[in-house]
Amino acid sequence: MSFTGKYELQSQENFEPFMKALGLPDDQIQKGKDIKSISEIVQDGKKFKVTVTTGSKVMHNEFTIGEECEIEMLTGEKVKAVFQMEGNNKLVANLKGLKSVTELNGDTITNTMTMGDLTYKRISKRI
């Protein structure tokens, strides 16, 4: 199953407490909470290019399954991570005390990030 496509954020849970825990300033949290971000994913075999546009902020990350890479976090900090594929529709990565699981089901992509006992969930639809 290919992740390639453009996805628009439909809903999110626990945005504010999760962003606070990450250390994002309150003004950025308030600005970001109601913006419908657009994620564009290009998959070429095990290589992925992900561009997330939220208002005027554009975050661009590239990674290859099973290889260490550098990922830009929502805070702008760059961290090392290794992405693994589970089955043919799930990407899993651990980055700096944070677990990220991205699952594709049909035209819906669900990204769940867990840090300690705090979970942030984003649901996006293919556009």
Domain residues of the chain, as ranges?
A: 5-126
pLDDT per residue as tens digits for the range 112-125:
999 999 999 999 99
> Mean pLDDT over all residues of the chain?
93
Going by C-alpha positions, the residue among 33, 104, 43 that lies closest to residue 74 is 33
CA-atom Rg of the chain in angstroms: 14
Q: How confident is the model at residue 75 (pLDDT cuts 50, 70, 90)?
A: confident
Q: How confident is the model at residue 9 (pLDDT cuts 50, 70, 90)?
A: very high
pLDDT per residue as tens digits for the range 45-72:
999 999 999 888 899 999 999 999 999 9
Q: Does domain 5-126 have CATH number 3.40.190.10?
A: no
